Amino acid sequence: MLYLHGGGHVAGSAFGYRPLAGALADKAGTGVVVPDYRLASGHPFPASVEDAVRAYRWMLGRGATRATVAGDSSGCGLVLSLLLSLRQQGLPMPGAAVLFCPWVDLTAIGRSRPPHELDDFRRASAGLYLAGHPADDPLVNPLSVDLTGLPPMLIQAATGDPLLDEARELAGHAQDCGVNARFELFPVDTHDFHIFWSFLPEAAQALAQAGRFARDTALAAQAG
């Protein structure tokens, strides 16, 4: 498994995400790589995408040909940028993608819900990440591009997440493009609730279901 952490493209680290990534990998019955990809503002797009591709190539070189790629929040946007880059470069696709509370559309801040305190952070971090790059570039806005050929994906969201509509839109768009996309909703009032897996029952359940999805997808790929 390759795990790309969240943090709005400007924060977070492999060290800080070891507990969550490790818990997910445990549920999936596999190992996990959490790269310390470069962050904005010092390293705007496409630095993190290049780092994700480099990490995935490293895994391919060690035989991980049907790995699961996972991420949370802005890490989901990076997951999709990675998948689209792999398709563009003609590289083998992962076996599955797991997306926790995705933030994937840098053009849609505050679009679907009343103003939220998360909007200010997203607006600022999106500006630092893009650094003048067009926000409608398909590599950073997967809702604007055909997703045909991407692997099966599981999208999990929370009922109280201000990004819920975006998660729904991603699931619908992926399905419309022929991607085997599953959407799961949990009765939680916060964004990125998976980080509370050690004490929040809904988060623990979400990780268990995500791990099962990764295992089942890997088994189906082997059988095929």
Could you confirm whether 198 is annotated as catalytic? no
Task: Assess contact for 213 and 94: CB atoms under 8 A.
Answer: no
Topology of the domain comprising 2-218: Rossmann fold (3.40.50)
Tens-digit pLDDT profile for residues 26-83: 999 999 999 999 999 999 999 999 999 999 999 999 998 889 999 999 999 999 999 9
Could you confirm whether 73 is annotated as catalytic? yes
Could you confirm whether 144 is annotated as catalytic? no
CA dist 39 and 188 (Å) reads 29
Tell me if residue 174 falls in helix, strand or coil.
helix
Band (pLDDT 50/70/90 cuts) for residue 224 is low
- pTM (2 d.p.): 0.95
Q: Which of 48, 73, 81, 125 is catalytic?
A: 73
Please provide residue 70's backbone torsions phi and psi, each rounded to the nearest 5 degrees. Answer: -130, 160
Residue ranges of the domains in the chain?
A: 2-218
CA dist 76 and 145 (Å) reads 16
Q: Which helix (H) or strand (E) holds 156?
A: strand 153-158
- Look over the chain and give the mean of its residue pLDDT values, rounded to a whole number: 93
Q: Is the pLDDT of residue 112 over 80?
A: no
Q: Which helix (H) or strand (E) holds 2?
A: strand 2-4
Q: Which of 161, 173, 192, 194 is catalytic?
A: 161
Q: Which of 48, 191, 192, 194 is catalytic?
A: 191
Mean per-residue pLDDT for 12-25? 97
Mean per-residue pLDDT for 7-31? 96
